[in-house]
């Protein structure tokens, strides 16, 4: 029933104005509903998108909540770093980042960063 339907993410924000600034200034995204005060709807490539909504529960998830697939991961990381985005460094069994980027045995790679609300976001490259 759902396999052919579009899907979108929902992210929490403790401070929607602060989050709006981050998504605009760091990621270059503008909300579709720019006049809204308690939620922001963003559209991305291929008809995908996500909702950012005001809640005191922001920043409590300890997992990746949304990710973008990019063609040039090192280039995207460099571009976001130039805008002040800080990438996470991980060293877990089976996952280690080097200069913010982890590469898996199948050749895919990813990099993770936090938004102002504590949400874990990622950039991904698939071979």
pLDDT of res. 127: 87
Identify which of 19, 123, 29 has the alpha carbon closest to the alpha carbon of residue 78.
123
Q: Is residue 102 domain-resident?
A: yes
pLDDT of res. 5: 84
pLDDT of res. 66: 96
The count of structural domains within the chain is: 1
Q: Is residue 3 domain-resident?
A: no
Identify which of 54, 40, 58, 50 has the alpha carbon closest to the alpha carbon of residue 116.
58
- Taking the alpha carbons at both ends of the chain, their separation in whole angstroms is 29
Sign for the CA dihedral angle at 64, 69, 86, 9 comes to negative
CATH at residue 76: 3.10.180.10
User: What span, in angstroms and rounded, lies between the C-alpha atoms of 64 and 78?
Assistant: 20
- Mean pLDDT, range 10-15, rounded to an integer: 97
**At residue 45, does pLDDT exceed 90?**
yes
């Amino acid at each position: 029933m759902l396999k052919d339907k579009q899907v979108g993410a929902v992210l929490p924000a403790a401070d929607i104005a602060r989050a709006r600034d981050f998504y605009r200034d760091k990621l270059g995204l503008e909300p579709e509903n720019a006049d809204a005060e308690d939620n922001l709807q963003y559209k991305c490539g291929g008809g995908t998108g996500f909702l950012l909504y005001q809640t005191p529960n922001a920043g409590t998830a300890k997992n990746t909540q949304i990710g973008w697939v990019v063609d040039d991961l090192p280039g995207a990381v460099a571009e976001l770093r130039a805008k002040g985005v800080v990438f996470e460094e991980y060293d877990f069994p089976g996952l280690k980042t080097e200069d913010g980027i982890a590469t898996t045995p199948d050749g895919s790679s990813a990099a993770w960063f936090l938004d102002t609300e504590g949400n874990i976001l990622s950039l991904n490259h698939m071979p």
